[in-house]
Amino acid sequence: MSTSSDTRGTRGTQGTRGTQSTGGTQGTHRAQGGQGTRLSLHAVELGRPDAVALTDVDLDVAPGEILTVVGPSGCGKSTLLRTLAGLLPPLDGRLTQDGRPLVGPSADRALVFQEDALLPWRTLRANVELPLAVRGLPRAERRTQAEAWLARVGLAEYARQLPHRVSGGQRQRAQLARALAGRPRAVLMDEPFGALDAQTRAGMQDLLVEVLAGTGATVVFVTHDVDEALFLGDRVALLGAGRLTAVRDIPHPRDRAAHDAPALAALRHEVLASLAS
């Protein structure tokens, strides 16, 4: 059974978080945009029959929160994400979305990988239009919305470029625009900034917070980077030894200058210790 925290908070443009506590039920974070979805696992076993990754997972991801997930390599982080995406059914237990069984992929849940996964023969605008086409939007409306999303992530002037003609950071911006253009209620992110240099990565973290503001989308963000997890998350989930070992509130406003605040430093120490155990 996981250890969790009990707080309430909101996510706005400044990324305000709840305060840290110990024990109790999982915290609830209300979405400002009202579009988020609740993802819940109860006594879930994840993986494949011949390779179980996680057992006895109890986790409640509240609508509109950003939950970051940290753990050593091979601990089941990506397995958890793919299970929430509906790509990998749980071996046991109960997996739900808004109280209903979660079965198979859905347009409600967008999955973002470390590799940008853009179609190389389509322009950035045409890539962003894909989820809009799936929703059945007319061509003119697809183009208008795709261009608006590209502008929002700072790529307006690159709309007609093919992916290989732009940088890795720009491709990730385009992938983020494509993921959010379809208005998913949950965005599941598998180390999306892991291949970027430090400066570009920090910029993408800031951009993610900015573009999520007001969408209300629920986010589960897998990362190896402890500082990234503590900057982005409303809460952080710790995985290790085949289990979800803890879920902690991140106790400060989203501010890089708060890196050395005592409560955050203590949590950072706990997260690092969990990776070493």
Tens of pLDDT along 256-266?
777 778 889 89
* pTM across the whole model: 0.84
Q: Where in the chain is the domain with CATH 3.40.50.300?
A: 1-8+29-108+184-277
pLDDT over threshold 90, residue 228: yes
d(CA 143, CA 137): 10
Range with the poorest average pLDDT among 1-5, 148-152, 200-204, 254-258: 1-5
What is the mean pLDDT of the segment spanning 11-15?
A: 38
What is the mean pLDDT of the segment spanning 18-25?
A: 33
pLDDT of 21 reads 33
Q: Are strands 109-112 and 100-101 parallel, antiparallel or unpaired?
A: unpaired
pLDDT over threshold 60, residue 227: yes
What is the mean pLDDT of the segment spanning 63-69?
A: 95
Amino acid at residue number 82? R
| Residue 2 banded pLDDT, cuts 50, 70, 90 | very low
Q: Which two tokens stand for residue 192?
A: 């999306």
Average pLDDT along the chain: 85
Q: Which of 19-23, 36-40, 204-208, 254-258 has the highest mean pLDDT?
A: 36-40
Show Cβ contacts of residue 43 under 8 Å, excluding neighbours closer than 6 positions.
Answer: 56, 57, 58, 92, 93, 94
d(CA 111, CA 91): 21
Amino acid at residue number 229? A
What is the mean pLDDT of the segment spanning 237-264?
A: 86
| Residue 13 banded pLDDT, cuts 50, 70, 90 | very low
Superfamily for the 1-8+29-108+184-277 domain = P-loop containing nucleotide triphosphate hydrolases (3.40.50.300)
